[in-house]
Amino acid sequence: MYAGCRDHKSLRFFKQIIELIMKNFITLIVLIAFIPLATFAQQATGEIRQENSTKFAIINAKIYTVTNGIIENGTILINKGIIEAVGTDVDIPADAEVYDYNGGEVYPGMIDSGTQLGLQEIGSIDESQDFDEYGNITPQMDALTAVNPNSVAIPVTRVSGVTTTLTMPAGGLLPGTAATINLFGYTPDQMYAGSKGIIVNFPNSRRSWRQTQEQADRAREQALKDLNDVFDKAELYAEIEDADDTRYYPEMEALAGAIRGEVLMYIEVNSAKDILSALEWVENRGYENVVFTGVSEGWRVADKIAEAGIPVITGPVLSTPTRSSDAYDAAYKNPGVMQKAGVKVALRSGDTENSRNLPYNAAFAAAYGMGKEEALKAVTINAAEIMGVGDTIGSIEVGKKANFFVANGDPFVTKTQILNVFIDGYLVPMTSRQIELYEEFLDRKPGLQKYPITEN
């Protein structure tokens, strides 16, 4: 069976077919042979998700495993959401449903390592935003609980091949706990991809236009003091946490987990100077499981980051240089410079509703020094490994979750169409509100005239 893949040009295509039929009888005969194929390619919109078999195989696909090269004419066998076999010589059980992609390219689902997807619906409306809790030190605020599985932006994102995001709280020194989510599921728990981490907004030396340099420096020193105070306290708490069972201090519990290395510590840091202080801070405190995020000026101190062995989530790549004196392409080059220096790099869109642009951030990073192969890793396996879920997602390997998508070409190339997306082995409907609006309005009925039509 041909999977429910859909070409967005199909409506126009149909119109053209009908016009041709009217014009030419011979064409009609030729076309009859193609009609069944075109019908398969259609998946009616507004339709609920089609149930796919728990056991199925993808065949005749060009498989970009990411970790084990490219397999031409390959097969992937999936059972209950887990990849059971990958290769050219795979026995397909009789009871498995088969999707023949006829040369289509299969990639691991892309991972956007920094969004507010699910936590924000409309940018200007506070009531639709749940990523910024009151207070400066709120590490216990759990992003996962506020993820809206029915956010309109989720289908918009996943039909572009982004299957997983790190969704992050924001605001204040310690905004909360970020969660890695898969973009399919009806509850936050069904979406949870198995990784959490606290966010640390590392005190920065940036000066707002309202501030003098002195004021900015003072604010930074104060923030650094606050940060050290709270972590001193948390270290003590981590030691005595189990001393009795009457203790309840959620802020400290959240931090203790990070100090013990049970959850990740995402340190948001951007300017070169701040990156160096953050490196020193991490080293002095001896924390492990640390990830630097943002890292806009990483290219200035790439060797230092590499030396410390701290992985980096950077982006958006499509951003302006941090200083007026920088080369115009400094931000495009940044991921490549760090990667070449030996830093493990993942990319983020830094967006919410346009997390779908992750592949294009990767394309620009690739074109400006990183290369396609490394850029692909930066949105798949590197991201998964950095978040500590490299054993379950990020590549097409036996034993991993069936998170992958099928495309008619390189997904970093803008015009490439994504044909199908699978998340946890579920065939995701290739529709979103944006596609539905397209189908309704491409050739709107009624057009200019609506009954009763009056002659002017």
Partner 1 sequence: MRHSACRFQFLQLKCLIKMKRFDMKKLTFLIALLLIGTNVIMAQVPKGDVLIKNGTVITITDGTLENTDVLIQDGKISRIGTSLKNRNGVTEIDATGKFVMPGIIDAHSHIAGTSINEGTSQVTAEVQMGDVVNPLDISIYRALAGGVTSIHLLHGSANVIGGESETLKLRWGVTDPQDMMFEGAPRTIKFALGENPTRGGRSRGIQPQSRMGVEAMLRNSFKEAQIYKQKWDAYRADNSRRKVAPKYDRRMETLVDILEGEVLVHCHSYRADEIYMLLNVFSDFGIENLTFQHANEAYKVAPELAEFGAGASVFSDWWAYKLEVYYSTAYNAAILTNNGVTTSINSDSGELIRHLFHEAAKSQKYGGLSDEEALALITLNPAKQLGIDDRVGSIEEGKDADIALFEGHPLSSYAIPVMTFVDGVKYFDRENDAVDQRLSVDPEDTIEDVHIFDADEQHKCMQDAEITNLYDFLNK
The amino acid sitting at 416 is: T
C-alpha pair distances (Å), 200 with each of 171, 296, 401: 10, 16, 30
Build a one-symbol-per-residue string for 161-200: x at contacts with partner 1 by CB under 8 A, - elsewhere: ----------------------------------------
How far does Cα 111 stand from its chain's mean position?
3
- Which residue in 59, 97, 207, 223 binds partner 1 (CB under 8 A)? 207
Q: Report how many residues bind partner 1 under the rule CB under 8 A.
A: 65
- Which residue in 155, 298, 316, 336 binds partner 1 (CB under 8 A)? 316
Nearest to 350 by CA among 364, 361, 337: 361
Build a one-symbol-per-residue string for 404-443: x at contacts with partner 1 by CB under 8 A, - elsewhere: --------xxxxxx---------------xxx-xx--xxx
- Which residue in 69, 245, 284, 444 binds partner 1 (CB under 8 A)? 444
Contact 164, 393 (CB under 8 A): yes
Build a one-symbol-per-residue string for 88-127: x at contacts with partner 1 by CB under 8 A, - elsewhere: ---------------------------------xxxxx--
Distance CA 105, CA 404 (A): 10
Give Cβ neighbours of residue 38 (< 8 Å, ≥ 6 apart).
Answer: 10, 13, 14, 17
Residues 356-385 that bind partner 1 (CB under 8 A): 356-357, 359-360, 363-364, 366-368
Distance CA 430, CA 266 (A): 33
CB of 340 to partner 1, least distance (A): 18
320 binds partner 1 (CB under 8 A): yes
Build a one-symbol-per-residue string for 51-70: x at contacts with partner 1 by CB under 8 A, - elsewhere: --------------------
201-216: buried (b, 16+ CB within 10 Å) or exposed (e) per residue?
bbbbbeeeeeeeeeeb
The amino acid sitting at 77 is: L
73 or 211: CB nearest partner 1: 211
C-alpha pair distances (Å), 42 with each of 16, 305, 329, 379, 428: 15, 49, 42, 30, 15
| Interface contacts to partner 1, rule CB under 8 A | 7-9, 12, 121-125, 152-153, 205-207, 213, 270-271, 294, 296-297, 316, 318-329, 331, 350-354, 356-357, 359-360, 363-364, 366-368, 412-417, 433-435, 437-438, 441-444, 447-448
